[in-house]
């Protein structure tokens, strides 16, 4: 996204360094393939995807909004981030993997069906959800988003879709301005649990326990997807919450307990935000360790 931008390649390098430790040696790793156009078109109209390709510069950068930029390699990264989400769904729905984490960028949860926004171009978690439904017969898919920013794009895409439950914890008031408790979807299928700036792991746990986990249990999903943003960490330069890496590990374990009871443990998690690269690496390690059952 250009020099000085927080959504930068070092994020993935830091994650990869963390996952090189011996305790992760048993992880199966696959590289993200390009998404098929048909998978993207379950969420985004063909005209939008074509316009996105048109907007990519041959050299330098082009700005789609004040903080969402493209370079010549952006399209390849966007297609592979979504393709990684689809491949992870394939692995988990076929039973080849118990669960999966997709370490890819750019993130996706601010992208609406028709517009890029906030470092996001294609809504990866929405593409994953629709793929699970169209290609693997999942009837109900739940999405849990604990990024510090509200997943407004995901909420918009699933607003009137009763086959999906979207649950989010996020800082409010904060960018992008959506995510109030009163935003509940056309079928009471949206659950927003906003947190005040400065909230710690206790408030995060309470929001999960009181508002999100009971709804997740009742919904009985066939697959749980996680929009795993780690910018609610106390060291994050963009977010104003005060979570620690242990809080993300705890949340992951609680989601796994529900997944074990409701959908044979099927979870696909994908990276959203997280902009202090050292904190991001620690958070992802805690998250993946929990997914491994450790
Ligand atoms: Zn974020």
- The angle that helices 277-291 and 10-18 make with each other, rounded to 10 degrees, is 40
What are the tens digits of pLDDT across the range 63-106? Answer: 999 899 999 999 999 999 999 999 999 999 999 999 999 999 99
DSSP 242: B
| Catalytic residue flag (residue 187) | no
Instruction: Quickly state the pLDDT bin for 294 (edges 50, 70, 90).
Output: confident
Is 253 in contact with 290 (CB distance < 8 Å)?
Answer: yes
How far is the centre of ligand 1, averaged over its atoms, from the C-alpha of 228 (Å)? 9
pLDDT at 270: 98
Question: pLDDT tens for residues 194-222?
Answer: 999 999 999 999 999 999 999 999 999 99
Number of H helices, E strands in the chain: 10, 8
Centroid of ligand 1 to alpha carbon of 148 (angstroms): 5
pLDDT score at 162: 98
Would you say 177 and 153 are in contact if contact means Cβ atoms under 8 Å apart? no
Please give the model's pTM, rounded to 2 decimal places.
Answer: 0.98
Residue 137 CA, ligand 1 centroid: distance in Å? 30
């Amino acid at each position: 996204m250009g020099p000085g931008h927080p959504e930068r390649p070092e994020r993935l390098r830091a994650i990869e360094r963390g996952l090189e430790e011996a305790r992760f040696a048993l992880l199966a790793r696959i590289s993200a393939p390009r998404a098929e156009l048909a998978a993207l078109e379950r969420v985004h109209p063909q005209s939008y995807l074509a316009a996105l390709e048109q907007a990519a510069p041959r050299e330098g950068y082009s700005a789609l909004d004040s903080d969402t930029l493209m370079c010549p390699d952006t399209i390849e990264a966007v297609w592979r981030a979504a393709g990684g989400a689809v491949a992870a769904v394939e692995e988990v729905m076929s039973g080849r993997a118990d669960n999966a984490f997709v370490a890819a960028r750019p993130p996706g949860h601010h992208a609406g069906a028709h517009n890029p926004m906030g470092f996001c171009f294609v809504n990866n978690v929405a593409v994953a959800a629709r793929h699970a439904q169209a290609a693997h017969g999942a009837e109900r898919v739940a999405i849990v988003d604990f990024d510090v920013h509200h997943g407004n794009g995901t909420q918009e895409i699933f607003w009137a879709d009763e086959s999906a439950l979207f649950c989010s914890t996020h800082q409010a008031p904060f960018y992008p301005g959506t995510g109030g408790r009163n935003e509940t979807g056309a079928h009471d299928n949206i659950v927003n649990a906003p947190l005040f700036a400065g909230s710690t792991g206790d408030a995060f746990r309470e929001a999960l326990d009181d508002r999100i986990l009971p709804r997740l249990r009742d919904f009985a999903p066939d697959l749980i997807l996680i929009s795993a943003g780690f910018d609610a960490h106390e060291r994050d330069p963009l977010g104003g919450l005060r979570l620690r890496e242990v809080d993300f590990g705890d949340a992951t374990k609680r989601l796994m307990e529900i997944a074990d009871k409701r959908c044979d443990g099927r979870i696909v998690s994908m990276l959203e935000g997280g902009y202090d690269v050292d904190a991001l690496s620690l958070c992802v390690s805690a998250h993946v360790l929990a997914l491994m059952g450790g």
